[in-house]
Amino acid sequence: MNFYPFHVGDYTLRTAHLDPMEDLAYRRLLDLYYVNETAIAGDAASIARLIRMRSNAAEVAVVLGEFFEETPEGWRHSHCDDVIAQYQAKARQAAENGKRGGRPRKPETPEPQPSVEQSASDMDCSENPEITQPVNSVNPEETGSTTNQEPITNNQNQEDQKTCSPSAHAAADELFDRFWNLYPRKQDKAKARKAWTKLKVSEALFALIAKGLAAQAASHDWIKDGGKYVPMPTTWINGRRWEDEVKTNVHHLPLSRHSGFEQRNYTAGLPQREDGTYVF
Would you say 187 and 163 are in contact if contact means Cβ atoms under 8 Å apart?
A: no
pLDDT at 274 (0 to 100): 77
Burial class (CB in 10 A: 0-12, 13-18, 19+), 55: exposed
217-237, pLDDT tens digit by residue? 888 888 888 888 899 999 999
DSSP secondary structure code for residue 244 in this structure: S
3 inside domain: no
Cα torsion 70, 75, 79, 82 to 10°: value is -110
Residue 185 lies in a domain: yes
Q: Domain for residue 266, yes or no?
A: no
Contact criterion met (CB below 8 Å) for 196 and 177: no
Please give the DSSP secondary-structure letter assigned to residue 272: B
Domains: count for the chain: 2
Q: Examine the fold and report which residue of 79, 99, 119 is the final residue of a domain before the chain moves on.
A: 99
| Sign of the alpha-carbon torsion through 58, 60, 64, 67 | positive
Residues of the chain with pLDDT under 50: 125-126, 131, 135, 137-138, 140, 142-143, 145, 147, 160, 162-164, 251-255
Sequence-distant (≥ 6) Cβ neighbours of residue 248 within 8 angstroms = none
Residue range(s) defining the domain that contains residue 27: 8-99
The terminus-to-terminus CA distance of the chain in angstroms comes to 109
For residue 110, count CB atoms less than 10 angstroms from its CB and return exposed for 0-12, middle for 13-18, buried for 19 or more. exposed
Residue 153 lies in a domain: no
Examine residue 21 and state whether it is found in any structural domain, yes or no.
yes
Domain-terminating residue out of 68, 99, 130? 99
Q: What is the pLDDT of residues 49-93, one digit of tens each?
A: 999 999 999 999 999 999 999 999 999 999 999 999 999 898 888
Do the domain assignments include residue 18?
Answer: yes
Residue 264 falls inside a structural domain: no
Q: Report the pLDDT value the prediction gives residue 5, as an integer from 0 to 100.
A: 87
Judge whether 138 lies within some domain: no
